[in-house]
Amino acid sequence: MLLISCPYCGARAETEFSYGGEAGIERPKDPHALSDAEWADYLFMRKNPRGLHTELWIHAQGCRRWFKVERDTVSYKITSSRELSLGASEKE
Ligand SMILES: [Zn+2]
């Protein structure tokens, strides 16, 4: 069982959380200026790396808050979890 550390509640079982996809994807400032290919790239194309990946998770069965998790996609080891509002500072 994978333990995920919610920055608000502490470590809980993976079953209490839902995955929200890749973190850090910014909506284009002027979507109407994009070509269809650029818009499709924004909507559908994700990194899917082998190794460290920054992801969004929600503590759906707990505080229902979103937060960022940095997880190794090979080992599933979570190296950090932090509130969305936090920039450089991180909590584990
Ligand atoms: Zn929580």
CATH architecture of 3-83: 2-Layer Sandwich (3.30)
User: From CA 46, how far away is CA 85, in angstroms rounded?
Assistant: 22
pLDDT at 9 over 70: yes
Percent of the chain with pLDDT over 90: 86
Ligand 1 mean position, distance from CA 41 (Å): 32
Q: How would you list the strands of the sheet with 52-58, edge to edge? A: 18-22, 52-58, 66-72, 78-83
Q: How many C-alpha atoms does 16 have within 13 Å on its Cβ side?
A: 17
Ligand 1 mean position, distance from CA 56 (Å): 13
- What pLDDT, on a 0 to 100 scale, did the predictor assign at position 86? 58
Ligand 1 mean position, distance from CA 6 (Å): 5
Residue pLDDT, tens place only, 52-91: 999 999 999 999 999 999 999 999 999 999 998 755 444 4
pTM (2 decimals)?
Answer: 0.82
- For the chain, what are the domain ranges? 3-83
